[in-house]
Structure formats: C-alpha cells, structure tokens
Chain A
Amino acid sequence: MNKILWLSLLLIVSAASSAGQFRQILPIVTPEQMGDEERFNLLRYSLLPIFDRNNITEAVHQIAVAWGTGELGDWLSNNFLNRQRLLSTLTLDVPRDARIRILGIRGQRVTSQQVKPSDKGILRTTVAIALVQTQIEFTDPSQGFQRLTADVELALQFEERFE
C-alpha cells in the first residue's frame, strides 16, 4: 500500500515539474552586498534635494526671451530636430520685432531622471515636459500688429551638478 502511495506521489511531482521549472533565486542587491563606493554613492544620492519644478518655469521664460533676442541657439540641444533650420528660420523669416510671450504653463511633469557620479560630485539629469501656451507678437507691415497663439510642448533637459 505504501509503495502505491509513494509511486502516486512521485508521479504527481514529476508531472508538476515537467509543466514548469524550478524557481530561481534572484537576489536583490542590498546595501550589505554593495561595495563601499556604491554604498557611499547611494547614501549621497539620498541627500540630493528634490527637483525643483520652478526650474521648469524659469527655463521656459528664459527660452522665450532667448527666442526673441536671437540667443535661442544657446538653449537648443544638439539633438534638437532641425536645429540649424530653426535657427536660420528665426534669423531670416521671423520678423525682427517678434517676441514670444508666455501666456501660461498649463502643465509640467518630470519624465525621467538619472543620477550618476561625476568628476566633481554628482550629476543629475532630469527631462521634463512643459505644456506652454505662447503668443507671438509682431508688427506686420501690411496687416499691423499680429498675435499668434499656440500650445507648445517643450521637452527640457536639466543637468544639475551637486557637490
């Protein structure tokens, strides 16, 4: 009788095991398993101040100013699509007196954030999206004062260094 029971148990176990696989232990790295440097950096990262959303607001306004003063190139990332084309358009096609007014920032959110050690301290890279309502104002020679409003989505990258 016992033999039958053992045989049944063996069959059940073998059937179950053939349907899957053994679970694997995937250890999660804990501070104890880290090296001293890693642990030290982790501790330092925890001391970073929270990203200040005022940075976004300030950047948006400064970019708007740069747009009208011909300094937008300083703000554009090298990866900005058609970077050179935009700059040449601003130079050649946009009226000289055109300015962008920020009517409002409807929303802003941080989409990604990376922290890594750098030569001098810590480098934190934050990418944020701001939904901005803009209005371009300029005087057209034939049509007079013009106001052109638009909803613009700006993707901004902030590189902050901490020491």
Chain B
Amino acid sequence: MDKFSRFSSQCRGNGSARKDFSAALIDNTAASNTGTIKRLAPAVLILLVFGIIGPLWAAPGSAVTGLQPLKRTSIKVQLLQARSLLSSAESTNPFDYKEVKEDIEAAQAGTSSPVTLIVYDPNSFMVGPSIISLPPAVFNIDPTGYAANSLILNENTYIDATATALKAQSVATGSAQFMAGPAWSITGSSNGTTVSDAISPSSMCAATVAETTIRSWSALPPSQLVRLSRYQPYQGSIVVHPWWGVSNE
C-alpha cells in the first residue's frame, strides 16, 4: 500500500477527523476574513476622510483656508511713455532722456560738447514712414536758441547727407536752405555776412557756418519737430513723437 492509499483509507476510516478538519478550515477562513477587515479598517477610514469629507471641508470658500477666487475690483491704466520709432535698421539705440538732460545741462554750463539737435522734415508734423526714409539732419545747437523759438547753428554743423529733402526758409537775417541731392549745401547769414558751405554726401562733414540763426522754419514749429540726442552719425535712435512727447528742453 502506497502512502496515498494509506492516507485515503485513514480518511475514510476516520469520519470525525474529517469533520474536525473541515470545521477547522471554515473557522480559519472566517478568522482570516475578520483579520483582513480589521487591517483594512484604518485605510478605509483614511480614504473616507481624505477622499470625501476632506475635499468637501476644504472646498474654496470654506472656513478651513479662507481662500476665495479673487475678482478684479478695479483697474487703472496710465501711459508711462510714448515714442515714435524709426525703422529697425535705424533704431539702434534707445532714446535716453537722462542722457539728453545731461547733454543740455552740460551745454548750458558751457563745459562740454554742444548739444545735438536733430530736425526732421519740416513739412510734416509727424515722424512716419514717409519721414522714416529721411534720416535726420543733425545740428549742433545752442540750447539758448529755444528761448526765442529759433535754431542757432553753431560751427561744426553736421548734416546727414543721406537725407533727401529738407528745407528751411524765412530766416529773418537772411536765408538758409538745405538743398536736396547728392551734395548738400547750407547757406545762412550772420550779422549780414552770408556764409555757405557744401557738404559731402559721403560723410558727415562739418559745415563752416560760423553761426546761422534760423528764426522760423516753414511749416516747422520748433516745438514740434525737434528732438535732442547725442550725435551718432548714421544712427538714428528712437524718435520722440512730436505730439506725444518731444524733448527739446
């Protein structure tokens, strides 16, 4: 009799033992289930608290966090600055108001290089695309000229030769005219003496006008069409819109 046969016969011959064995099995399963529930109870409780009650309790606007969706109650808009722009090729440097102010102060104190004034097309009130194609003429200017609403051209007057059209007329003491074309000339008078000089288009040459006072420009209100900047040959910067915020003080 092999081992299996012996075990079977023992089982068959011992009915009570089989019953005991089955009962033990059932008891063991029940005990096992109870233990699992006991072990899982805290986890279930935690899930209940954090999964259901927690979100309800900590919902926006609840007393737990005090956080509520923020609503905009007011808005205030201010214009800090406005300026016109040259084309990107020309606008290489931002217009530096502080620098201009320093320039003016230095020039007024007579201790530094003259202030540079850039004048745009007098026939337009604005700096726009039609004007953008006209690089500015650059003058060294005596800031005291502003007081009389006139432009005083000192020696070393620079004119950007790439400009194509710029006119100035009605000079009380004579006339000043900037000629369009490959070569520029400037003519003016000072104390009855007429001075003139041609300006090479290939470079920013100094005109030899000793001092020319232009007291009025045709269609050129000086307060509108001028700006101050450091002289930078062939480098416009950012042009202050005449009506937005010209700086020639």
Which A residues contact B (CB, under 8 angstroms)? 40, 43-44, 47-49, 55, 59, 62-63, 72, 75-77, 79-83, 85-86, 89-90, 93-94, 120-122, 127, 131, 136, 148-163
Contacts and interface: CB of A to CB of B under 8 A. Distances in A.
A159 B75 CA distance: 5
Contacts of B76: 158-160
Contacts of A63: 77, 79
Interface stretch (B66-74, B110-118, B171-179, B192-200): B66-74
Interface residues of B, number: 40
Nearest to A136: B126
A79 B241 CA distance: 17
Which residue, B124, B128, B241, has most C-beta atoms of chain A within 10 A?
B128
Nearest to B129: A149
Taking chain B's interface residues, is the majority helix, strand, or loop, or is none over half, making it mixed?
A: mixed
Which residue, A77, A122, A150, A152, has most C-beta atoms of chain B within 10 A?
A150
Contacts of A136: 125-126, 243
A43 B65 contact: yes
Contacts of B127: 150
Interface in B86-126: 97, 124-126
A146 to B, nearest CB: 8
B96 to A, nearest CB: 11
B80 A89 contact: no
A49 B77 contact: no
Interface in B199-249: 221, 223-224, 238, 241-247, 249
Contacts, number: 136
B71 A163 contact: yes
Nearest to B125: A148
A150 to B, nearest CB: 4
A47 B79 contact: no
A104 to B, nearest CB: 13
Contacts of A122: 70
A90 B242 CA distance: 10
Contact of B224 (A93, A149, A152): A93
Contacts of A157: 77-80
A49 B70 contact: yes
B72 A85 contact: no
A93 B82 CA distance: 18
B221 A93 contact: yes
Contacts of B186: none
28 contacts: A40-B66, A43-B65, A49-B70, A80-B79, A80-B80, A80-B82, A82-B245, A86-B243, A86-B246, A89-B243, A93-B224, A121-B73, A127-B80, A136-B243, A150-B84, A150-B127, A151-B129, A152-B241, A153-B81, A154-B79, A154-B81, A157-B80, A158-B77, A159-B75, A159-B76, A160-B76, A162-B70, A163-B70
